[in-house]
Amino acid sequence: MLNASEYSRYSRHLLLDDFDEHAQRRLSNAKVTLFGVGGLGCQVASALAAAGVGEMVLIEDDVIEISNLPRQWLFTEKDIGQKKAEVARTRLLAMQSACTLHCITNFNDIAARDAHLTTSQLIIDCTDSFTSRLAINALAVTHSVPLISAAASGFIATATAFNPEISGPCYACPEYNSEQSLTCFEQGIFSPVVAIAGQLQAMMALSYLSGIHNPEWGSLHHFNGQNLLMRQFNIQKNPDCPTCSKIHRSEDHAHSL
Amino acid sequence: MRIHCNDEQLEVPEDCSLVSIIQRFNEQEGALAVAVNLTIIPTSRWQLQTLEEGDVVDIFTLVAGG
């Protein structure tokens, strides 16, 4: 199943309980669409490529700035001014030449984005605003693709997995007041905190894609970097959710016809 | 009755609403997440949500950076 080189490369995975060659092969057959290659995205993309995920789509229109370097570890001083997605692709291929990497550097290229979403097993949201998270959540619900969303500002990291295929909540269900969201621009960010948020996403993604276990869909994992406490909350499904209730209602209506 | 909010024990009236607790504790800026007994309650339901003896309320600011 795995060749000798793969067997050697992934030997420490294969020693894990419940993780076998089939699980590793599921990773190499997986396709993931990743929105954002900043603090979260650098962590997730590196972890997934190194672990053997076979295909990734990197959607990011930003360029590298000097203020990114303390936490966006795929980039170096020489990369300042270059497109994040393209530099990340080069670095990830050096790490894992077997990975197929697509870059979309224009958020308005909806045709290319949607073509990839329809063939992706997982969406990972590594963007940096409520506005973009709500939009990506709507895409996940519309295309019925599981979504792993995380965020970090100051000393706080959060991460949640959502699955539109089960009747759980979506990212929009809590109806957060998105106009008052706190981002790294207002609060700053402690580099290890965003790394922890990204690695929580990677942990959930690799567990799900390899088939070793599903994340707890709809559980918000909350990490406080000041006291190192990790807490877990359940997000209540909102029957009046502005996003998922409309999609489900239209499906229910279609089924009743 | 007694409830717990953000690790503080509070003595509150029997008819205490979730909204009154949020107003009492909300000193921070930003989008709030409010959980009762570890379940995050949608914002539109805060007004209707009633509290019971021993309930644990968590109010925290949700971050959006990345």
For A32-44, what is each residue's pLDDT tens digit? Answer: 999 999 999 999 9
Orientation angle between helical segments A130-143 and A244-256, nearest 10 degrees: 20
Q: What is the mean pLDDT of chain B?
A: 90
Residue B52 lies inside a defined structural domain of this protein: yes
Residue A169 burial class via C-beta count within 10 angstroms: exposed 0-12, middle 13-18, buried 19 and up: buried
Distance CA A42, CA A73 (A): 7
- When computed from its CA atoms, the radius of gyration of chain A, rounded to whole angstroms, is 18
Q: Nearest-CA residue of chain B relative to A176?
A: B31
Can you point out the beta strands (E) in A18-166? Answer: 31-35, 55-59, 100-104, 122-125, 147-153, 156-162
Give the pLDDT band of residue B23 (cuts 50, 70, 90).
confident
The reply to whether B41 falls in a domain is yes
pLDDT for A257 beyond 50: no
Measured in angstroms, the CA of A254 and the nearest CA of chain B are apart by 27
Question: How far apart are alpha carbons A172 and A50 in whole angstroms?
Answer: 32
Domain that includes residue B51, residue range? 2-61
Domain count of chain B?
1
Q: In chain A, which residues have their Cβ closer than 8 Å to the Cβ of B33? A: 174, 176, 220, 233
B66 assigned to some structural domain: no
Assigned domain for B35 exists: yes
Residue B33 lies in a domain: yes
Asked, for residue B38, whether it belongs to a domain, the answer is yes
On the question of pLDDT at B61 being above 90, the answer is no
Instruction: Report, as an integer, the average pLDDT of A187-209.
Output: 96
Average pLDDT of chain A, as a whole number: 93
- Tell whether B10 is covered by a domain: yes
On the question of pLDDT at A123 being above 90, the answer is yes
> CA triplet A72, A200, A242: central angle to 5 degrees?
100
Residue B29: predicted pLDDT: 62
Q: Which residues of A are catalytic?
A: 184
Q: Are residues A187 and B63, on separate chains, in Cβ contact within 8 Å?
A: yes
CA A57, A61, A66, A70 torsion-angle sign: negative
pLDDT value of residue A184: 65
Task: Identify the CATH number of the domain in which residue B36 sits.
Answer: 3.10.20.30
Considering the domain boundaries, does residue B51 fall inside one?
yes
Cβ of residue B62 closer than 8 Å to a chain A Cβ:
yes
